Chains A and B, each alone.
Chain A
Amino acid sequence: MIGASKIKQYSNVLEKPLSKGKQEVSLSAFAFLFSELVQYNQTQVDNIAELERRLEDAGYAVGARCLELLCHREKGNRRETRLLGILSFVHSTVWKVLFGKVADSLEKGTEHEDEYMISEKELLVNRFISIPKDMGTFNCGAFVAGIVRGVLDSAGFPAVVTAHFVPMEGQQRPRTTILIKFAEEVLRREARLG
């Protein structure tokens, strides 16, 4: 072709160089987009459980892709095989890249062996959202729960992940807790690995 164009044309998206991940958009752009996601899904469902499930599914796709991207970029393609390893990856690396800070806390559940909790004072996605009383315990953090589930599932740690509001004393807005309940096979494998 005579006269090369200004921008190099990549025939395949896989050949494009991977960005460093430093680019940013405004918080309001993301907030608007997320609100449209929730509003659209509200028109498609009849009840809250369905709505949470749809948000989770949307988040799942984000999480799966996040894992691939971050494993390659941040960790040099090393794979996590231990439970604590993947949990701290989610708690620190994933949170830092997606939300700009590490999660507030990572705790092990006291009642059940297979439960872990990641807590956040104010989830980014919930910042501009208020839940009307008639929606009960609905939490838009289901999107983030979906992201975590996507990351864990793609890394080989199947789990059930849900988001819950935990009211805190002395604070107006409740804290959000992402509850991770690992599948049987994960615990058995972990026990075998010692």
Chain B
Amino acid sequence: MAPAGPRSGDAIFASVERVNAELFTLTYGAIVRQLLTDLEEVDEVNKQLDQMGYNIGIRLIDEFLAKSNVSRCTDFKETTEVIAKVGFKMFLGVGASVTNWDAEGTCCSIVLEDNPLVDFVELPDTCQGLYYCNVLSGVIRGALEMVSMKTEVTWLRDVLRGDDVFELQVKLIKQVPEEYPYKDDE
């Protein structure tokens, strides 16, 4: 039997077990609140959220590859398309789109209209520098690092700061060739 082709994000999302998005939203809110109480500095919280996202990303990539059946991406453009169309849909149940490619094809923007992490959220004046969804940038960075791509992910637009959509800029720094953990001769 021929191997199944890549499945669409909707199909996978319909087949995985799901939980109420509000539980997810409220749990994430509790995490951010705990971090703010412990660390107090908004920059520290941003860094910690990114680190948490990174830890999630390096494990999430395994599940993603297992469930989505995508073949190896030929270039970075395909990679980001897959992240936006399949990845976000599969885990968060929301669609995303990829825009703003630069000339070399190493830098693009992923635009999210809907974001389950920020339901019911408003940033108070004391936390204006906070990137509330920074965990997402860590997840993408971690996941891509596990497939040999070093990237830098930053927030361009954030609804909590007054913009109309969420926009993440993903920039490919370099492709790291895969290293084998053992030498062939030994």
Contacts and interface: CB of A to CB of B under 8 A. Distances in A.
A3 interface: no
B185 to A, nearest CB: 39
Contacts of A69: 22
Given A36-B55, A37-B30, A21 B60 contact: no
B104 interface: no
A147 B23 CA distance: 10
Interface in A2-55: 5-7, 9, 12-13, 19, 21, 23-30, 32-34, 36-37, 39-41, 44, 54
Interface in B118-147: 119-122, 135
Given A6-B164, A40-B31, A59-B30, A24 B60 contact: no
B56 A36 contact: yes
A36 to B, nearest CB: 5
Contacts of A99: 19-20, 23
B24 A36 contact: no
B21 A24 contact: yes
B174 interface: no
A167 interface: no
A82 interface: no
Interface residues of B, number: 40
A13 B123 CA distance: 10
B93 A24 contact: yes
A187 interface: no
Contacts of A41: 34
A51 to B, nearest CB: 12
Interface residues of A, number: 39
Interface stretch (B10-18, B72-80, B148-156): B10-18
A37 B135 CA distance: 12
Contacts of A29: 24, 91-92
A166 interface: no
Interface of B: 13, 16-24, 26-31, 33-35, 38, 48, 52, 55-56, 59-60, 63, 90-93, 113, 116, 119-122, 135, 164-165
Interface of A: 5-7, 9, 12-13, 19, 21, 23-30, 32-34, 36-37, 39-41, 44, 54, 57-59, 61-62, 65-66, 69, 97-100, 124
Given A37-B34, A59-B30, 17 more contacts: A9-B164, A21-B20, A24-B19, A25-B18, A25-B19, A25-B116, A26-B90, A29-B92, A30-B27, A33-B24, A33-B135, A36-B52, A37-B31, A62-B26, A62-B29, A66-B22, A66-B26
